[in-house]
């Protein structure tokens, strides 16, 4: 999921309250790392493996936030998004 | 590109605060609090339409956790003088923060007193804070009963 897609969920007035609340929660977690997480031109988070090496631990799960296809990511932000969406 | 540079993100969070569920308003205010961590972001967010008004509304009408997050956002949005003036001039902010000193616990008190401390750094705001209903009583209460950290802010 890209940042613009996340914003779309946030502003979609016809979306279920739960989805919008989740989008707000995802933004809250993303913004926790705003100093470290940067978004590329396409709106995708740049590699959390590169930006947040101390938080990113490769395991066996695809990360749908990071551009870099980690096969496995337990990065706290990615994990939150994976859990939510 | 970051979240604060996306106007639709900020307006989306404002919309969520105004019309979302209690859980959603809490997350939206929390996001604003986290986003306003540096002066550039603070300036952009404070000058975005409806942000401070929405947070003031949340101070008055939100649930306990949402009020805490609103106070946290206002604390970060009152760090620099320019945006602090906007915060101080918004109806309901100082009154809401003063009420929070009486009704909140822990984090809510810490964030409310922190915001008032930021605002009190500006001479124009001191009289307004001192004149707000129950504000001085709330600050005194924090001085007597708060943790050492919040006592310093008080």
pLDDT at B40: 85
pLDDT less than 50: residues of chain A: 34-75, 80-85
Å between B8 CA and nearest CA of chain A: 7
> What is the pLDDT of chain B when averaged over all its residues?
91
pLDDT at A1: 56
pLDDT at A7: 80
* Total count of domains within chain A: 1
Eight-state DSSP code of residue A22: H
d(CA A14, CA A17): 9
Query: A31–B23: do the CB atoms touch at under 8 Å?
Result: no
Å between A19 CA and nearest CA of chain B: 9
For residue B100, which phi and psi values (nearest 5 degrees)?
-60, -30
The beta-carbon neighbor of A39 closest among B2, B12, B23 is B2
Residue B85 has pLDDT above 70, yes or no: yes
Query: A10–B13: do the CB atoms touch at under 8 Å?
Result: yes
ipTM: 0.74
Decide: helix, strand or coil at residue A39. Answer: strand
| Chain A touched by B16 (CB under 8 Å) | yes
- Among the residue ranges A47-56, B30-39, B95-104, B111-120, the one predicted with the least confidence is A47-56
| Arithmetic mean of pLDDT, B6-24 | 91
d(CA A21, CA B19): 11
Query: A7–B12: do the CB atoms touch at under 8 Å?
Result: yes
Place of tokens 């906007």: B86
Interface of A with B in 25-84 (CB under 8 A): 25, 27-28, 30-32, 34-35, 38-41, 43
Task: Please tell me the pTM assigned to this model.
Answer: 0.78
pLDDT at B93: 97
Å between A15 CA and nearest CA of chain B: 11
Residue B2 has pLDDT above 50, yes or no: yes
Å between B121 CA and nearest CA of chain A: 27
Highest mean pLDDT among B98-102, B122-126, B129-133 belongs to: B98-102
Place of tokens 């306990």: B64
Which residues have CB under 8 Å from B108's CB, separation 6+?
B64, B67, B68, B71, B100
* Residue that wins the pLDDT comparison between B113 and A6: B113
* Residue that wins the pLDDT comparison between A62 and B150: B150
Angle at A44 between CA A41 and CA A49, to 5 degrees: 115
pLDDT at A36: 39
pLDDT at A74: 45
* Residue that wins the pLDDT comparison between A82 and B13: B13
Domains of chain B plus CATH, in order, are 3-153 (1.25.10.10)
Q: Residue A36: which domain range?
A: 3-84
pLDDT at A6: 75
């Amino acid at each position: 999921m890209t940042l613009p897609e996340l914003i779309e969920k946030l502003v979609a007035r016809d979306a279920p309250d739960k989805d919008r609340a989740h989008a707000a929660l995802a933004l809250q977690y993303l913004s926790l790392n705003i100093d470290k997480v940067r978004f590329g031109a396409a709106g995708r988070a740049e590699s959390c493996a590169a930006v947040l090496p101390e938080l990113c631990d490769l395991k066996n799960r695809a990360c749908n936030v990071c551009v870099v296809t980690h096969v496995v990511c337990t990065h706290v932000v990615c994990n939150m998004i994976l859990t939510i969406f | 590109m970051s979240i604060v540079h996306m106007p639709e993100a900020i307006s989306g969070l404002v919309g969520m605060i105004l019309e979302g569920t209690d859980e959603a308003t809490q997350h939206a205010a929390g996001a604003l609090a986290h986003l306003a961590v540096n002066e550039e972001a603070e300036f952009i967010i404070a000058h975005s339409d409806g942000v401070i008004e929405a947070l003031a509304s949340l101070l008055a009408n939100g649930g306990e956790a949402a009020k805490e997050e609103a106070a946290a956002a206002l604390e970060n949005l009152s760090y620099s003088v320019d945006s602090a003036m906007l915060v101080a001039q918004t109806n309901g902010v100082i009154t809401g923060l003063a009420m929070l000193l009486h009704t909140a616990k822990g984090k809510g008190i810490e964030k409310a007193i922190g915001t008032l401390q930021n605002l009190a750094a500006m001479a124009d705001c001191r009289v307004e804070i001192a004149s707000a209903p129950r504000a001085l009583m709330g600050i005194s209460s924090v001085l007597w009963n708060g943790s050492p950290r919040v006592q310093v802010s008080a």
